Chains A and B, each alone.
Chain A
Amino acid sequence: MHELAVTEGILKVVLRHAAMNGASRVVGVGLRIGELSDLADEWLQRYFDYLSRDTIAAGARIRIERIPVVFRCEACGDAFPVRLSDIKDVACPACGPGKVILVSGREFTVQQIEVV
């Protein structure tokens, strides 16, 4: 994932909503990031600290909720979780290899912010 461009996107969303709600400072940012959105978590806070340094979001702590990868089998309709390491060979546990639809794992949202 492109960390710097993505962090800029996060900051934009955060500042817009902080302003809309008349906040004087942002102290926390809650993100929902799917397992497939390949992002290096430890760099995210660092990039965010750097980009936000002259804004009201400076010092805000980022919390990441990771959403697991879940596929649904087109044949039987069952949903099943998949480990990232097995992503190349996704197969329904009941039906074996076949057509599958991604149900979750690509999320990339700013869920909430904590402001003062």
Chain B
Amino acid sequence: MADIRLIEIREDILSDNQQLAQEIRQNLHREGVFMLNLMASPGGGKTSLILETIHRLRDEFRITVIEGDIDSTVDAEKVAALGIPAVQLRTGGACHLDAPMIRLALDGMDLSALDLLLIENVGNLVCPAEFDTGAAKRAMILSVPEGDDKPLKYPLMFSVCDALVVNKIDYLPDPGFSMAALRERVLKLNPGIQIFAVSCRTGEGLDDWIRWLREQISARRRT
């Protein structure tokens, strides 16, 4: 029986992703590009919000979208149809985007010719919250039909985001959704989060969202 050797390691397991995310963040900061990581359940309105954002900001800023899905190019095609560059990442099974995947998407991009990078993460309220993509800010969408109890069920997602967009407010009033209850639950988890109430379909409330985004982009842009 051979002797067992003990080897001390003391290495952080999640350090790889964290480190790369930091490098990405610093690189984008140097290049003056604002990158937003947008997350939500499937069908919450990520693509709709991105398309509406493009309509309203394309004349001011140079935009590119990074689409993440398990399969298909459905979302990237919608963006490309507007004449905006889109990179589709097919994860083939992974339920979230991580820093190495974003690095792949960024390779080959001329960052000096960009102001705004929008990441549409995989539809999922669980895993994307745990993986830093290197984005400067994180935003999530909760749509009215999903109900106001989601902050109780998915606290991590609500607590790591800088902005919450409540979409589909055209469904209100809805017995399963109290805006007051939602605000209270979210602000308890994350007192600093910015909350926007919108309808991508009717356009209501989008001006405030755009204003916030414009502030973020302008703060980082190189003139």
Q: In terms of DSSP, what is the predominant structure of the interface of chain A?
A: mixed
CB distance from B212 to the nearest CB of A (A): 27
CB distance from A18 to the nearest CB of B (A): 8
Pair B127/A2 contact, Cβ less than 8 Å: yes
Max chain A Cβ within 10 angstroms of own Cβ: one of B6, B8, B9, B131: B9
CB distance from A111 to the nearest CB of B (A): 6
Pair B7/A113 contact, Cβ less than 8 Å: yes
Q: Which residues of chain B have C-beta atoms less than 8 A from A1's C-beta?
A: 130
CB distance from B93 to the nearest CB of A (A): 10
Q: Which residues of chain A have C-beta atoms less than 8 A from B94's C-beta?
A: 5
- Apart from A13-B13, A109-B10, 13 more pairs, CB < 8 Å: A2-B127, A9-B13, A9-B14, A12-B16, A17-B7, A17-B11, A21-B5, A27-B4, A31-B13, A108-B12, A108-B13, A110-B13, A113-B9
Q: Which residues of chain A have C-beta atoms less than 8 A from B13's C-beta?
A: 6, 9-10, 13, 31, 108-110
CB distance from B156 to the nearest CB of A (A): 9
Q: Which residues of chain A have C-beta atoms less than 8 A from B98's C-beta?
A: 5
Q: Is A76 an interface residue (CB 8 A)?
A: no
Q: How many residues from B make CB contacts under 8 Å with A?
A: 20
Total A-B pairs, Cβ < 8 A: 64
Max chain A Cβ within 10 angstroms of own Cβ: one of B7, B10, B12: B7
Chain B minimum-CB-distance residue to A33: B13
Q: Is B181 an interface residue (CB 8 A)?
A: no
Q: Which residues of chain A have C-beta atoms less than 8 A from B127's C-beta?
A: 2, 5
Chain A minimum-CB-distance residue to B5: A115
Pair A114/B14 contact, Cβ less than 8 Å: no
Chain A minimum-CB-distance residue to B155: A88
Q: Which residues of chain B have C-beta atoms less than 8 A from A10's C-beta?
A: 13
Pair B130/A2 contact, Cβ less than 8 Å: yes
Q: Is B81 an interface residue (CB 8 A)?
A: no
Pair B7/A21 contact, Cβ less than 8 Å: yes
Q: How far is the CA of A28 from the CA of B9 in the complex (A)?
A: 13
Chain B minimum-CB-distance residue to A17: B9
User: Can you identify 19 A-B contacts, CB atoms within 8 angstroms?
Assistant: A1-B130, A6-B13, A9-B14, A13-B11, A13-B13, A17-B9, A23-B5, A23-B7, A31-B13, A108-B13, A108-B14, A109-B12, A111-B9, A112-B7, A112-B10, A113-B9, A116-B2, A116-B3, A116-B5
Pair B11/A109 contact, Cβ less than 8 Å: yes
Cβ < 8 Å to A, chain B residues 44-61 = none
Pair B7/A110 contact, Cβ less than 8 Å: no
Cβ < 8 Å to B, chain A residues 1-54 = 1-2, 5-6, 9-10, 12-13, 17-18, 21, 23, 27-28, 31
Q: Which residues of chain A have C-beta atoms less than 8 A from B16's C-beta?
A: 9, 12
Mask: chain A, 77-116; 1 = CB below 8 Å from B; 0 = not:
0000000000000000000000000000000111111111
- Known contacts: A1-B130, A6-B14, A108-B14. The answer to whether A114 contacts B9 by CB under 8 A is no
Option from B2, B9, B96, B131 in Cβ contact (under 8 Å) with A13 = B9
Chain A minimum-CB-distance residue to B17: A9
